[in-house]
Amino acid sequence: MPTRAAPPPSPIDPAQPDIIARAAADHRREGLSAALGAYVFWGLSPALYHLLGHVAPLEVMAHRIVWALVFALPLVAAFGQTATLLRLLGSPKVLLVCTASALVVSINWLTFIYATGSGQKLDASMGYYIFPLASVMLGAIFLGERPNARQGVAIALAGLGVLVMLVGLGRLPWIALVLAVSFGTYGLLRKIAPAEALVGFTLEVILLAPLAVGWLAWLQWGGTGALATGTAIDLTLLLVAGPATALPLLLFAVGARRLPLGTLGMLQYINPTLQFAMAVMVYGEPFTTVHALTFALIWTGVALYAIDPAALRRRARRVG
């Protein structure tokens, strides 16, 4: 019986590698644009809460939660995530983790609102510089992720910067420490929560919403809240606080899916750098010699953490 001849190989489109390369480049560009948008948004956010500095921080946060939920729920439906959200709402384990993450992020939000509204934006920016180092420390404590010698020195330098401020100015930069530890703890909890960014965020604000609505209703009943006494500008800014909370998180999620983790990690310093520049150049917060020494130690620690000499050598060998 004669054997059947093998079919001829299908021709390969010589343009196919270029198409794939262009698609990958477009994918990275989209991720870069989204991540930059998120970090710039976060970096400029003190301007919003500065304008709301005359409103009690707890009331601002309550509005932020309520309007963020109003903004997020239609997005969950638009992206076809309603079934996922309902499934997670029925899981006691997920609700426990998300309740913890919601409480931690609410502490972070409240502290940030207070800091930016009360003229302590420098301390807020310091907190987000320290945050990656706090994450390494929390990972070592709770996940057994032992920091290497370089990371240990970086953490020690940040700690020394805090000590310099304590001795030089006679006060502990508690705002920076609370922001760094709370956001680091939030990242730790979100790491173990089985929910992507939009659904996880929506679940958190759902859990916080009853308290927020109750507090706003109490203020309204007493005639002391912004809904009763605020100007049209106040009410507009409070309404904007919701989307301003959710939108950068969505942009960040897009960037996280399309960019390498190292690139995403380096871009995160855009946020505290913008906050630092605004605090000193726009709002005229005092920047003393003690501040300069404190930030110099923290920046050195951050640089030591962010720049891995071994990775640079490997990259140089690949290029060579």
Length of the chain: 320
* Residue of 279, 273, 276, 258 lying closest to 306 (CA atoms): 273
Q: Mean pLDDT highest for which of 11-15, 208-212, 300-304, 313-317?
A: 208-212
Enter the pTM of the model.
0.83
For the ranges 24-33, 100-109, 167-176, 231-240, the lowest mean pLDDT is seen at: 24-33
The two three-digit tokens of residue 261, written as one number: 């983790």
CB 130 within 8 A of CB 249: no
Per-residue pLDDT for 5 more than 70? no
pLDDT in tens, 188-236: 888 777 778 789 899 999 999 999 999 999 999 988 888 888 899 999 9
pLDDT in tens, 255-309: 777 777 556 767 888 899 999 999 999 999 999 999 999 999 999 988 888 776 6
Q: How far apart are CA 155 and CA 137, in angstroms?
A: 8
Burial class of residue 211 in the structure, from the number of CB atoms within 10 Å of its CB (0-12 exposed, 13-18 middle, 19+ buried): middle
Q: How far apart are CA 280 and CA 292, in angstroms?
A: 12
